[in-house]
Structure formats: structure tokens, C-alpha cells
Amino acid sequence: MRRFLNFDTAACVALVLLAYFWLALQPPDKDDFSLFKNTSEQGALPVARDLYTHWGGRAAAWFWVAIFACNPFSWVKPSIFLSTVILASSSWMLLRQEHTLLKVVITSLLILGFPYSGNVLPWNSSAAVYGISSGFMLGFLSLLACPPQSPKPVHCIIFSVLLFGSALGCEVWMAAHGGIVLLCILLHFFGRSVLSPSMLITYCAVLALCCLIYINGGNAQRLAAEGHAPALNAATLTDGFVRALRELITVVRNTLPVLLVLFFVRDEKPSRPLLHLRLSLLGGMVFIFIFMVLLEAARFPFHWRARFAVALYLSALIYFSGAAALALGRLKPALHLPVRICALLLGLALLSHSAYQMYAVPKFDLMKWLAVRDAARNGTYSGTPANWGTQDDRHRILYQPDQPDLQYAADKIKTY
């Protein structure tokens, strides 16, 4: 027990709590208010079923959205907390060889300055979709990078759960899985498979089930409701390719600070050749790009929150493929440490600027939101309209709640 109650663990727990406290202070989006009202009146499962049948096939994400819906005036925001734990623990394990204080600095900036995280973490319903599903995807990629040589049934079960939670949690992850499994199958025929035959069969079967669940959801209804018609032809696909390429270049540019930090990370030598893993992960990135092309061709904009998932996958691709170690290997050994330190300092500076843009200079008034929040919690809210501002850009997404939803949450708030 003592080895778990050390300074390193205490620092990680304290960091998670402080980050959660800061994110829970941020103003919620209108969806947080409407979901709280709907789940309170109808129940979580009926709301999840309605979201699945009318708003898209990501069944796991809608389940988390409904189950973890909470009063926006409350301190208890499960999706934000879980997403914070996922990012913090991932960063902590990534930096396991570094000093505790250095881990605290880097992890703090990765949580607050990760590209597009301001569109995911402060918004409980958005964190349920992109934050929680990211945990499943990172767990899946970790298992893919170091799969058991002689898998047991329990390994296949864990593999299936991680696959199910990621594929049905976010469309970006579904697209990535399509590319990864295709490359795994091709490599298997050449005797170079990353996975064992049993795990590859499990991968194909569970992913096929996920696809069936997804296509039976309300994807067509959502496209029709928002006025998007997938009229795919040579002209629209060409236009979609150009738009998607611009999107991807933008994501790569904004993910550069994280990639610089990953360049600093001291990676252990993998237990198997990296080439096959690189090809599999690259296949996932190619399918993500194809997914982006199809969305843009159908005039369905690739939103800021989805860019968070692409940035996270790109970061995982760089790390698990050993790209940083490969680049360092081309330099003289004497230059390794200076280059790593310079990359880290530049990455932290850019992450600090990103965090500043997301939380220090928003287009909304944080103090006005806190005043309304305190009034609701004290029982003195008098129906004041939401007037703390709106924002919709790569730094933050925030829309004003409808007044009836705001009043309902204020009437239902308790002392926690």
C-alpha cells in the first residue's frame, strides 16, 4: 500500500483535482442544460435511445451522455472528471521516467493546452462523447502496440470492450478502426500481422457488430434535419478532398506543440518490430482522412470537437510508432539531450499560449456565469437571462442555454 501512497501518486491526484476544479468552473453549453432537463423528466435510457435513433449511431457515446448528465450548476460533473483522469493518467504514464515536478508541469499544460480541448473538457456532454471515448481508444492502441503473444479469453474480452467503447463512442475512432483492421488483415496474409489470429478474428467480428449498430442509428435523420445531402460525385469529392486536406493541415499545425513534447519523451524499446505497427496506425490515419473527405463532400462540416479526436490520434500515432526515436537516431548521440530539451521548451511555450487562448481571453464573461451560478446555488436566482456570451471557434464552443432549461436547472439545484 505504501508504494501507492507516495509523493508521485499524491501529485498526480492533486493535479487531477485542481484541473477538474478549474474545468468545472467554466460555463456549460446549452446542451448541458437541455440534457439535464430531458434526463430528469424522461429518464436516462429513453433519452439515450432517442439520441441514437434521431441523432446518430454512436450508441456508446449517447449512453454516456445520458447516464452522466448532471445539473450544470452542480460541482458533480462525471464526464469532465473522467476525461480529466484519462488525459492526466495517460500523460503521467507517458512521462513515467521523468521527475515528478516535470510531470506536473507537462501534464498540466497538456490538459489545459491540448489542441481543441477547450471544446471538449469544460462541457460535460461533449466530454462524455470525445473525452471518455478517447480513454477507450488510447487503451486499445496501448494493447495494439504490445499485444499478448499467447492471448487468453480475458485478453479478447478486454480487447472487445476497448474496441466497442471507442468505435461506438466517436465516428473518428470508427474510421480509424476501419483502416487499422484492414492493414492488420493485409499484414496477416504476408505473415507480418501485429495481432495473433484469435485477436484478429475478434477484431473483425466486434468491429462488424459495431458497424451494424452504427448504421442502424439516426445518421440519415440527422443529415436530413441539418440540411446536408450526401450528393457524392467527382466534383463534390474533389472539393471535399481539398477541404479535408486543409482541415488536416490545420490539425497538424495545431498539434505541433504536443508532437514537440512527445519528441522529448524517453521511449522504451518495443518488444516487436515497429514497422508493422506503424503501417497499421498509418492505415487508421488514412481512413480518418477518407472520412473527413466524405463529410466535407456531403457539406457536413468537420467540427472543432472532432478535430480534438484527430489531434489525439495523430499524437498517439507519433508516439506508438516511435517516430521521435527514429528522428533522434539520425542525429549524433551528443545532440540527443539538447534537441530533446529544446523541443520540450518550445512545446511547453506553445501549449502555454494555447491554454492562454482557451481560458484567459475567451469571448464570454466568466464572472457573469459565476454570478448566475452562485445565485442559483444560493436560491436567489430571479430568472436573469443567460448573458455571459457565446463563442464558436477552435478555442472554445459555447452557446447560451434556453431560458426554460436554465430556470429548470436553477430550480433543481441542491447544495452539492
Domain range for 190: 2-361
Q: Is the dihedral of CA 65, 176, 122, 387 positive or negative?
A: negative
Q: What is the mean pLDDT of residues 228-248?
A: 84
Tell me: pLDDT of 120 over 60: yes
Average pLDDT, the chain: 88
In a domain, 374, yes or no: no
Residues 6+ apart with CB under 8 A from 304: 116, 119, 392, 393, 394, 397
Structure confidence at residue 340 as a pLDDT band (50, 70, 90): confident
In a domain, 328, yes or no: yes
User: What pTM, to 2 d.p., does this model score?
Assistant: 0.92
Q: Where are the beta strands (DSSP E) in 82-216?
A: none
Instruction: From 414, 89, 56, 113, select the one nearest 254 (Cα to Cα).
Output: 113
In a domain, 65, yes or no: yes
In a domain, 170, yes or no: yes
In a domain, 390, yes or no: no
- What digits encode the pLDDT tens for the residues 125-163? 999 999 999 999 999 999 988 888 788 889 899 999 999
- pLDDT at 226 (0 to 100): 65
Q: What is the mean pLDDT of residues 204-208?
A: 95
Q: Which three cell numbers stand for residue 89?
A: 493518467
Residues 6+ apart with CB under 8 A from 130: 83, 120, 170, 305, 306, 308, 309
The DSSP letter of residue 391 is E
- pLDDT at 3 (0 to 100): 54
In a domain, 222, yes or no: yes
What φ, ψ does residue 289 adopt, rounded to 5°? Answer: -65, -40
Number of domains within the chain: 1
In a domain, 369, yes or no: no
- Say which residue the cell 537516431 belongs to: 329
Tell me: pLDDT of 26 over 90: yes
In a domain, 410, yes or no: no
Where on the phi/psi map is residue 303: left (φ > 0), alpha (ψ -120 to 50), or beta? beta
Contact of 134 with 86, CB cutoff 8 Å: yes
CA 102 → CA 91, 99, 159, 319, distances in Å?
11, 5, 32, 19
Tell me: pLDDT of 79 over 50: yes
Distance CA 409, CA 386 (A): 12
